[in-house]
A and B are shown apart, each in its own frame.
Chain A
Amino acid sequence: MSGKEMYWTNLKRVMRTGFFNFWRNGTVSLASVLVMMVTLMTIGLIFFSGAILETSLAELRDKIDINVTFVPTASEENVLEIKHSLESLQEVLLVTYISREEALTAFKNRHANDQAILAALDELGENPLGAVLNIKARNPSQYASVAEFLESGSALSEKGISIIDRVNYFQNKTAIDKLAKIIDSADRLGFALTIILAVISMLIAFNTIRLTIYIAKDEISVMRLVGASTAYIQGPFVMVGIIYGVVAGLLALILFFPITYWLGGATESFFTGFNIFSYYLASFAEIALIIMSAGIIIGALSSILAIRKYLKV
């Protein structure tokens, strides 16, 4: 046979032998596939925890805003004027106007179960709440300058008395910063732990494959003695390693469906708007690519590394 012909014949034989060995060593293959599956699921976990970190931080940033409460006596005209001047600022993304009546309705809804407060409101006779402007900046770091703008004299009424009752930015900011820091470090810790877990399970997968090759070490020496080349002995083992990776990867990807579906509701209520199941569906192609290639690489590499020791004869 010519060189090229021989190459294809050998490749065909190596693949066929690999499939046979995988199938005939059923129990060993099952054990290796399960170990590998756990490894690949841990790698998948890195994705999910990364996505959760991302969304929870983004959401927190989104929650930062400035509420400017005006004194009840401030006229709607003046308030809208300030709204207008705020909107002309470059840093400002959106300004929402909440009128006194709307503020009252919201307040009543919030305290619908508290008869004492509602009674006190009735007693008062008039609306004690001022209008509110809710300001969102393009970037969280820009709130400081917006707040400064409001602090400066620009929001004074004609009589020289400020119509702004209070700006809640400064109280909220420290709390939000602190919370963001806590979530950030908690997620970092989780991320580090998942990476460590992934490395450990990769080592376990490597060891399992090494064990399967250790079982075959006598076979390898026989193959050597009948004059088989290194590549020809190694080939089927690498093939089996790749099959472990592919089967384990497929199992992991399939198992992620019920798992993320089951966790979907929980994640949605915990991280508003983030559903782990929809995330899995949306990024399926990316996750599948990474998990499958990780499986194939771990399987093939483990086999190559493990078999080297027995090929020295």
Chain B
Amino acid sequence: MISFERVSKVYPDESVALDNVSFSIEPREFVSIVGPSGAGKTTLLKLFLAEEKPTEGAIFFDETNVHTLDKKAINNFRRKIGMVFQDFRLLPNKTVYENIAFTMEAAGRSDEEIEQDVPHVLNLVDLSNKIWNFPRELSGGEKQRVAIARALVNEPDVIIADEPTGNLDPVNTYDVVQILKKINDLGTIVILTTHNKGIIDSLGKRVIAMDKGRIVRDDKSGKYFIK
């Protein structure tokens, strides 16, 4: 479904962010990517989302090289991927409802679908009572649940969660991971990057460990090791 083939990324200042990285992800997989800061996790995700171009190698999604897509096709491709970030990245001047509706509007969905799906997906992350609040009126955990709802609402093929629990307390961290697990159980690929050892150990899913731009380990049912 997703495959990285001999991907390298060298920034103009000669720093090597990724060095000859190859791996693939099958449908319904839950993959955690771990590693210290600067290991190349974020670069990996940026390359996958076509935010940046690889220096060498290619990245395929469903047989398509994502870096050969034109602007319009990139927009369509991104709609198949739900993003969750450490810093939530909600739109501050939109209510919870509008934040989620925006993603559906961008995908060209009708008003009827939006009116139907937004409350549904908010129910899924247990935030039905905050539907008309602005992000500034929510706690960190609530914001992250809105972000997950937003990532989910277009029924994406892949959910990418980039350190989604980095700013959350243990209780909220647990909730977020449970929601991600539930999403994966329903058939969506989840790619999770994290520093949190506890999460990885409790998941018992595939772990890719990275260091200095290389993959140092790829375990089917991994534990969190820092070598």
Tell me whether B78 and A225 are in contact (CB under 8 A): yes
Nearest residue (CB) in B for A215 is B92
0 or 1 for each of A204-232: is its CB under 8 Å from B? (1 = yes): 00000000000000110011111111101
Chain A binding surface, main DSSP class = helix
Tell me whether B110 and A21 are in contact (CB under 8 A): no
0 or 1 for each of B139-169: is its CB under 8 Å from A? (1 = yes): 0000000000010000000000000000000
A226: contacting residue among B72, B79, B94, CB under 8 A? B79
B170: Cβ under 8 A from any A Cβ:
no
Nearest residue (CB) in A for B113 is A1
Tell me whether B91 and A219 are in contact (CB under 8 A): yes
Tell me whether A226 and B103 are in contact (CB under 8 A): yes
B93: contacting residue among A10, A24, A225, CB under 8 A? A24
Tell me whether B110 and A226 are in contact (CB under 8 A): no
Q: Given A218-B89, A219-B92, does the pair A226, B108 have CB atoms closer than 8 Å?
A: no
0 or 1 for each of A238-256: is its CB under 8 Å from B? (1 = yes): 0000000000000000000
B83: contacting residue among A1, A6, A219, A226, CB under 8 A? A226
0 or 1 for each of A1-32: is its CB under 8 Å from B? (1 = yes): 10000100110010000001100110000000
Q: Given A228-B102, A230-B71, A313-B51, does the pair A223, B91 have CB atoms closer than 8 Å?
A: yes
Tell me whether B93 and A223 are in contact (CB under 8 A): no
B105: contacting residue among A21, A25, A225, A232, CB under 8 A? A232
B107: Cβ under 8 A from any A Cβ:
yes
Task: Kindly name the residue among A9, A226, A313 whose own CB sees the greatest number of chain B CB atoms within 10 A.
Answer: A226
Tell me whether B105 and A13 are in contact (CB under 8 A): yes
Query: How distant is the Cα of A188 from the Cα of B108 in the complex, in angstroms?
Result: 55
Tell me whether B110 and A9 are in contact (CB under 8 A): yes
The A-contacting residues of B in range 89-127, CB under 8 angstroms, are 89-94, 98, 102-103, 105-108, 110-111
Query: How distant is the Cα of A229 from the Cα of B77 in the complex, in angstroms?
Result: 12
B76: Cβ under 8 A from any A Cβ:
yes
Tell me whether A229 and B72 are in contact (CB under 8 A): yes
Question: What A residues does B39 contact at CB under 8 A?
Answer: none
Query: How distant is the Cα of A110 from the Cα of B211 in the complex, in angstroms?
Result: 103
Question: What A residues does B75 contact at CB under 8 A?
Answer: 227-229
B49: Cβ under 8 A from any A Cβ:
yes
Question: What A residues does B90 contact at CB under 8 A?
Answer: 222
Query: How distant is the Cα of A232 from the Cα of B103 in the complex, in angstroms?
Result: 11
Query: How distant is the Cα of A224 from the Cα of B91 in the complex, in angstroms?
Result: 12
Query: How distant is the Cα of A227 from the Cα of B73 in the complex, in angstroms?
Result: 10
Query: How distant is the Cα of A229 from the Cα of B105 in the complex, in angstroms?
Result: 10
Question: What A residues does B111 contact at CB under 8 A?
Answer: 9
Tell me whether B108 and A6 are in contact (CB under 8 A): yes
Chain B nearest Cβ from A16, distance in angstroms: 10
Task: Kindly name the residue among A218, A227, A228, A313 whose own CB sees the greatest number of chain B CB atoms within 10 A.
Answer: A227
Question: What B residues does A227 contact at CB under 8 A?
Answer: 75-79, 103, 106-107
Question: What A residues does B77 contact at CB under 8 A?
Answer: 227
Chain B nearest Cβ from A297, distance in angstroms: 25
Chain A nearest Cβ from B27, distance in angstroms: 21
Query: How distant is the Cα of A219 from the Cα of B72 in the complex, in angstroms?
Result: 20
Tell me whether A21 and B93 are in contact (CB under 8 A): yes
Which 10 A-B pairs give the minimum distances between C-beta atoms?
A228-B106, A227-B79, A227-B78, A226-B103, A222-B89, A24-B93, A227-B75, A219-B91, A225-B83, A229-B75
| A24-B93, A229-B75 given; 16 more Cβ-contact pairs under 8 Å | A9-B111, A10-B105, A13-B105, A20-B94, A21-B93, A219-B91, A219-B93, A223-B102, A224-B78, A225-B51, A225-B78, A226-B79, A226-B106, A227-B107, A228-B102, A229-B72
- Interface of A with B (CB < 8 Å)? 1, 6, 9-10, 13, 20-21, 24-25, 218-219, 222-230, 232, 313
16 example contacts (A-B, Cβ-Cβ < 8 A) are as follows A1-B110, A20-B93, A25-B93, A218-B89, A219-B93, A222-B91, A223-B91, A223-B102, A226-B79, A226-B150, A227-B76, A227-B103, A228-B102, A228-B105, A229-B72, A232-B105
